C-alpha cells in the first residue's frame, strides 16, 4: 500500500468517525461499483469521507451520478451485511484515478470501531 493510499485511508477513518457520514455515488437506484484490481470476479464500492471528494468523480461515464450520503449508523446496520453477503469490497477515499486500497467491509468495520 502506497503512502498516499494509507494517508487517504486514515483520513477516511478520521473524518467518518468524526462526522458519522460517508459518500457514495448514485444515479436513481444504481450505485457506482468498480471491478476489483486485486480479486477476479469481485466488485468494489468506492466511498469518500467528504461530499466534495465524491463529486470530483462525477465525470465521463459517471456524469449523471451524484454524491449520496450514507450515515455511519445506516452503513453499519444495513450496508455491511448486504455488502458482505454479496462479496462486495469497499474502497475508502479512492483518488481521482480511482486508485486506492480495497478492503473487505468487515475490515473497515473493525477499523471504525
3-state secondary structure the chain: CCHHHHHHHHHHHHHHHHHCEEEEEEECCEECCEECCCCCCCEEEEEECCHHHHHCCCCHHHCCCEEEEEEHHHHHHHHHHHHHHHCCEEEECCCCCCCCCCECHHHHHHHHC
Ordered by start, the domain boundaries in the chain are 3-112
The CATH code that applies to domain 3-112 is: 3.40.1350
| pTM, rounded to two decimals | 0.92
Q: For residue 2, what pLDDT band results from cuts at 50, 70 and 90? A: confident
Confidence category of residue 1, pLDDT binned at 50, 70, 90? low
Amino acid at each position: 500500500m502506497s503512502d498516499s493510499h494509507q494517508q487517504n485511508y486514515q483520513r477516511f477513518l478520521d473524518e467518518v468517525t468524526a462526522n458519522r457520514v460517508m459518500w457514495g455515488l448514485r444515479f436513481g437506484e444504481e450505485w457506482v461499483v468498480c471491478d476489483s484490481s486485486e480479486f477476479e470476479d469481485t466488485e468494489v464500492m468506492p466511498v469518500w469521507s467528504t461530499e466534495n471528494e465524491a463529486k470530483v468523480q462525477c465525470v465521463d461515464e459517471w456524469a449523471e451520478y451524484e454524491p449520496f450520503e450514507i450515515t455511519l449508523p445506516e452503513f453499519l446496520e444495513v450496508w455491511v451485511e448486504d455488502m458482505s453477503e454479496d462479496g462486495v469490497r469497499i474502497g475508502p477515499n479512492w483518488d481521482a484515478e480511482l486508485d486506492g486500497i480495497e478492503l473487505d467491509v468487515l475490515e473497515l468495520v473493525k477499523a471504525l470501531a
